[in-house]
Structure 1
Amino acid sequence: MSHLHAIILGIIEGITEFLPISSTGHMVIASSMMGIEESAFTKAFEVIIQFGAIMSVLVLYWRRFLPNWSFYKKLFVAFLPTAVIGFIVKDVVDHLLGSVQIVAWALILGGVILVWSDKIFAHLTSMGRKTSDLSYIDAVKLGLFQSIAMIPGVSRSGATIMGGLTLGMNKKEAAEFSFFLAVPTMAAATGYKLLKIYKTIEPAQISTLAIGCFVAFIVAMLAIKFFIGIVTRYGFRGFGYYRIALGIVILIMIYSGKNLQMM
């Protein structure tokens, strides 16, 4: 993986991490199309640079992370389901990360759900529950929704937002809670991946990771502001249509004989 690859993937990660269109799915597709060789490092890279993107949450929402033990406890409780389930099925998830076809179907299904949700939850544009209104049981439910996103193409933010809407949160609050929940989730995922590769990582790969994380951090700050503005005004329908269109294009390419699998 070259530094140019790292920059491109960092841009993709920064744009897609907080949009309900699946950052992992887009990176799997992009890696496949650029012919990046599948290895322990490339799979770890796709996870680790997500930490660069979520650092933008700490910068933009630093006031929400000031000592507030109720907020922290709810985040921890919401994080637990993904941590436990992720540890149990980690090998299956690593295997799925190489399948562009799974990504395509997940994009389409998730897109249909987003379009449907915009109609069902239209009343939650401005009114609805806030993060402070959530109980610890609600936090567990949100964590279970987030764990669905271990399937590549589902979208971590999309799954968490959908969980928030089903609990009666308004769209802006649901989106922002998905940002907050990303912090412990991706910090844990990054730490786990680093532990797996730190003994074999090379100096050149450290710089590649650093570049990817930095680019993802800068781009994600812009993407968050864009996303909140769009969601508040127009909802999720546009993202749903995009997912459906992208998934269909990928399936057409696969079934027409084009090799999009990881090299």
Structure 2
Amino acid sequence: MLNIIKAVILGIIEGITEFLPISSTGHLYLANEFVKLQESQAFINMFMVVIQLGAILAVVVIYFHKLNPFSPQKNPSEKKATWILWLKVIVACLPSVIIGLPLNDFMDAHFNNWQVISATLLIYGILFIVVENYNHHRHPHLTDLNTLPYSIALAIGAFQVLSLVPGTSRSGATILGAMLIGSSRFVATEFSFFLAIPTMFGASGLKLFKYFIHGHSFTGAQSIVLIVGTLVSFIVAYAAIKFLLDYIKKNDFKAFGWYRIILAIIVIGYFGFLK
């Protein structure tokens, strides 16, 4: 029962932080100190990745019509535009496939520590504030997702590779990169959401494959813990996505930058001085 309560807490954290540019990894790393599952480390590592499926499913549900090229409610030109959008998403995934897959295990083994996480939280927090200040008097030239060039999609995908470093935030890296290139906040955020679908489905599938290939399996209790965490992640992520889309219509990302800086200080204070 205690593990289920912990799965709910971790699912809430994942759901809130997956799409806000504040690093789900950083939050889960910190939360793991206080609500660690009473399971093997292999299961915990797999759980932390696979519950992201719930968050990704929230994107699929919210944008199902927009992302469905077979929708009978769309005319031929709209269906074509949807296929083109998916093609751009696939192009944006290429850097993660080419660079991310070979480096994934290495980064997890050597960079998943509080020093790296606090540094990336701090650096990207500062960058969000700097970029927003820089863009304050500039007008974005990419304000429609349908006009996003393939080259820009590829560049945004290259920024996503930076999120291999724990604490960076996948959404943070892609949103920041898109804004630097000249995308509006809304276009940057939506494309980041769409890019998450194949990326995180792939990451979760790969983690499950490695978990089973190394001889692990689920007990009935572990299956319940995983399902609960994923379901809670879905519900909370749905609300978080709606919140972020509404928030960026009237606000910039500087508040998230300051939040990251404060969290970095907390991580440094706890792991560096208190633990």
Shorter-chain TM-score: what band? over 0.9
Q: Could you tell me which of 62, 71, 75 is aligned with 2:64?
A: 62
Q: TM-score, normalised by structure 2?
A: 0.88
Aligned 8 A contact 2:162 2:168 in 1: yes
Which 4+ stretches in 1 moved above 6 angstroms? 124-127
Deviation at 1:96, TM superposition (A): 4.5
CA distance in 1, matches of 2:64, 2:136: 30
Shift of 1:122: 2.5
- How far apart are the structure 2 equivalents of 1:193 and 1:19? 23
Residues 1:228 and 2:245 aligned together: yes
Q: Partners in 1 of 2:237 and 2:36 — Cα distance?
A: 25
Question: d(CA) in 2 for partners of 1:177 and 1:79?
Answer: 12
Deviation at 1:176, TM superposition (A): 0.8
CA displacement 1:30-85 (0-9 Å, x = unmatched)? 11233446612111111111111011011111122121211111010101111221
Q: In the aligned structure 2, how far is the partner of 1:93 from the partner of 1:42?
A: 17
Partner of 2:76: none
Contact 1:149 1:155 in 2 (8 A): yes
* Matched residues, number: 258
d(CA) in 2 for partners of 1:50, 1:161: 19
In structure 2, what is the equivalent of residue 30 of structure 1? 31
Tell whether the 8 Å contact from 1:96 to 1:152 is kept in structure 2 after alignment.
no
Q: CA deviation at 1:130?
A: 2.2
Task: Report how far residue 191 of structure 1 moved.
Answer: 0.7
Whole-angstrom distance in 1 between the partners of 2:268 and 2:48:
22
**Paired-residue identity, %:** 40
Q: Distance in 2 between matches of 1:185 and 1:130?
A: 22
1:77–1:194: structure 2 CA closer, same or farther, 3 Å change rule?
A: same
**Matched-pair contact (CA < 8 Å) for 2:25–2:169:** yes
- In structure 2, the gaps of 5 or more residues are 70-81
Give ranges in structure 1 of 5+ residues lacking alignment. 259-263
Q: Distance in 2 between matches of 1:98 and 1:163?
A: 23
1:218 partnered with 2:235: yes
**Deviation, structure 1 residue 124:** 6.4
Higher mean Cα deviation, 202-211 or 215-224? Answer: 202-211
For residues 183-202 of structure 1, the aligned pairs below 5 Å read 183-198=197-212, 199-202=215-218
Query: Helix, strand or coil: the match of 1:216?
Result: helix
Q: CA–CA distance in 2 between the matches of 1:255 and 1:193? A: 30
**C-alpha contact (below 8 Å) 1:125/1:171 kept by paired residues:** no
SS of structure 1 residue aligned to 2:143? coil
Moved more, 185-194 or 117-126: 117-126
What is aligned with 2:17?
16
Q: Is the 8 A contact 1:28 1:97 kept in 2?
A: no
User: In 1, Cα distance between the equivalents of 2:140 and 2:151?
Assistant: 24
RMSD of Structure 2 on Structure 1 (CA):
1.8
Larger mean CA deviation between 94-103 and 105-114 belongs to 94-103
* Map 1:93-172 → 2, pairs under 5 A: 93-96=107-110, 98-123=112-137, 128-172=142-186
Aligned partners of 2:140 and 2:182 also within 8 Å:
no
Residues 148-204 of structure 1, C-alpha deviations (whole Å, 9 max, x = no match): 011111010010001211221110111111001000000100110111113412222
Gap change, CA 1:122 and 1:228, over 3 Å in 2: farther
CA–CA distance in structure 2, aligned partners of residues 4 and 85 of structure 1: 37
* Secondary structure of the corresponding residue to residue 234 of structure 1: coil
Range with greater deviation from structure 2 (92-101 or 5-14): 92-101
Local SS of the residue matching 2:249 = helix
Residue 128 of structure 1: CA displacement? 3.6
Compute the displacement of 1:16 (Å).
Answer: 0.5
Residues of 1 paired with 2:118 and 2:145: CA distance? 32
Distance 1:93 1:104, change over 3 A: same
* C-alpha distance in structure 2 between counterparts of 1:124 and 1:60, whole Å: 30
Query: Normalized against structure 1, the TM-score is what?
Result: 0.92
How far apart in 1 are the matches of 2:35 and 2:231? 21
Q: What SS does the corresponding residue of 1:32 show, helix, strand or coil? A: coil
How far off is 1:127 after superposition? 6.6
